[in-house]
Amino acid sequence: MRAKHTKHDLPAFPVYSSAFLSDTELVIGGGGGQAKTGIKNKLRLFETQNDSQLKQVDELELAPGEDAPMSMAAARKTSKVIAGVNSSEDRLKAGHNDNCRVLNVADKKITPLSSQGTLPTEDIEHLLEDYQRVTVVSPDESMVAVAGTHDVTLLSFPSLEPLAAPLHFGDEIYDASFSDNTLAIATTGKVHLHDLPTSSSSPATSPSSKKKSKGKGKAVAPLPVQRTIDVPTLLDGTATGSIRAAKFSPTDPSKLFIAVNTTPARGKGKRAVPRQSFLCVWTISNGEKGEKGAGTVERTKKLGDRALTCCDVSLDGRLIAFGFSDCSISLLDTKTLTPLVTILKAHEFPSTTLAFNPQATLLVSGSADNSVRLISVPAGGTRDGMGELSSCVAQEDEDADRPPLSMDDDHPDPHYASRHRAGVRDEAGLRVGGAGSRSLTAQEDFVRRRSSGSSSGL
């Protein structure tokens, strides 16, 4: 059985984020970023019934100078979207960034509701480069966790009031995930597990910080640390690498899916070792709180000789999807880790976002190449009478013979490469500048230098 999938071109609309509000309502975020490319930053609402149908029903254009929506999550019970959108450069230079945006979707319209600043504003230079790269909603939709490069903030939803003191990490942050009582934060070298507040409406106060915050509103305490999981533990000490994603199983909070990109030893020509990606299924034990790495690696699966860029887990916990630096997409059974679908050359640039619809009948992949691909999950690939997942034949895109456009895959963040190196395309398909006034040659050099740094060697 072959999986049906269709590529939908979105002229002059590089895609960076996506979320399904229902099985048929899809919100996509994208645009040219803060660079003066002439390409507007927007949120678009689509209706879809299957992979071949994608109908735009509304569009919200962001204010001039604001950034593209770089991350997104859906609160389906109230039909709301939480998106990461940086304020204009003028506001950033003034120390203001309303980066966390809440939007309502009703009667086929997208309407802005509220916003909150969560990224540190003390260092203006860092603020100009930082953006909300992670946005996740808790299972009961009472909390939202948002993260920039090094800082995570837990907010009550929909009020956006802080529930805990921001968490700062030296390593870069790449993902976050909720279970009913735990927040997992994936950084380059570790997954950090933190206890959640018992009530989203009653944030814990910090006695030691009350005096410091007198006259500045109620202080909130930091989230208690449960434990941490590091890369050597995941890969049995046989390889070094960086964590790219961490996702709790929506149906089994004791299982955490952790994706790792290895860092190959230096070599040239035939001696060069390819970058590899692995999926580790971590089973959390009931060890003492604070015990480092309490749990076990249940299974490890090699995903391929290429770096992982993004992933998503279906709401029923049965499927996990991955996008890779070679522009391919894979779909796996979470129980057996059996590959179900593989699409080669899904885009011209690597996927920047993946999202299942609630019933896991559709998977959307977006890319900075001005396209989305809708994939119909095979009927046997969700449920059958035995509760197992059925494998389908791996297949290539109709453009498989055409090589993807050249793109550095050394940097772990596909958004970074898309924003700072690849640039975006105008209506004629011509590439235009991606990062301010840098020439493409300078952008390529900039990314290569960043990719060789210790913080980005994923």
> What does the pLDDT read at residue 235?
80
Domain assignment present for 133: yes
Nearest-angstrom CA–CA distance, 307 and 309: 6
pLDDT tens digits, one per residue of 286-309:
665 546 447 899 999 999 999 999
216 part of a folded domain: no
Mean pLDDT rounded to a whole number for the chain: 82
Rounded mean pLDDT, 428-435: 32
Q: What is the pLDDT of residue 35?
A: 79
Q: Which of 396, 281, 369, 366 is nearest to 11 (CA)?
A: 369
Residue type, 444: E
Pick 246 or 431 by higher pLDDT: 246
- Domain assignment present for residue 92? The answer is yes
Q: How far apart are CA 155 and CA 119, in angstroms?
A: 13
363 with 340: CB under 8 angstroms? no
What's the length of the chain?
458
pLDDT (tens digit per residue) in 3-58: 899 999 999 999 999 999 999 999 999 999 987 778 999 999 999 999 999 999 99
pLDDT at residue 386, rounded to an integer: 27
Q: 303 lies in which domain range? A: 4-202+221-456
Q: How many structural domains compose the chain?
A: 1
- Residue 214 inside a domain? The answer is no
pTM above 0.85, yes or no: no
pLDDT in tens, 329-361: 999 999 999 999 999 999 999 999 999 999 999
Residue 215 lies in a domain: no
59 close to 43: Cβ distance less than 8 angstroms:
yes
Q: Is residue 213 part of a domain?
A: no
pLDDT at 283: 93
User: What CATH number did the domain enclosing 258 receive?
Assistant: 2.130.10.10
Residue 180 pLDDT: 95
Report yes or no: 324 and 308 within 8 Å, Cβ to Cβ: yes
User: What's the mean pLDDT in 62-88?
Assistant: 98
* Local confidence band at 210 (pLDDT 50, 70, 90 cut-offs): very low
Q: 49 is written with which tokens?
A: 């019934």
Other C-beta atoms closer than 10 Å to the C-beta of 410 total 18
In a domain, 125, yes or no: yes
**pLDDT on residue 338:** 95
In a domain, 209, yes or no: no
List, as one string, the DSSP characters of 191-250. EEEEEPPS-TTSPPP-HHHHTTTTTS----PPPPEEEEEEHHHHTTTS--EEEEEEEEET
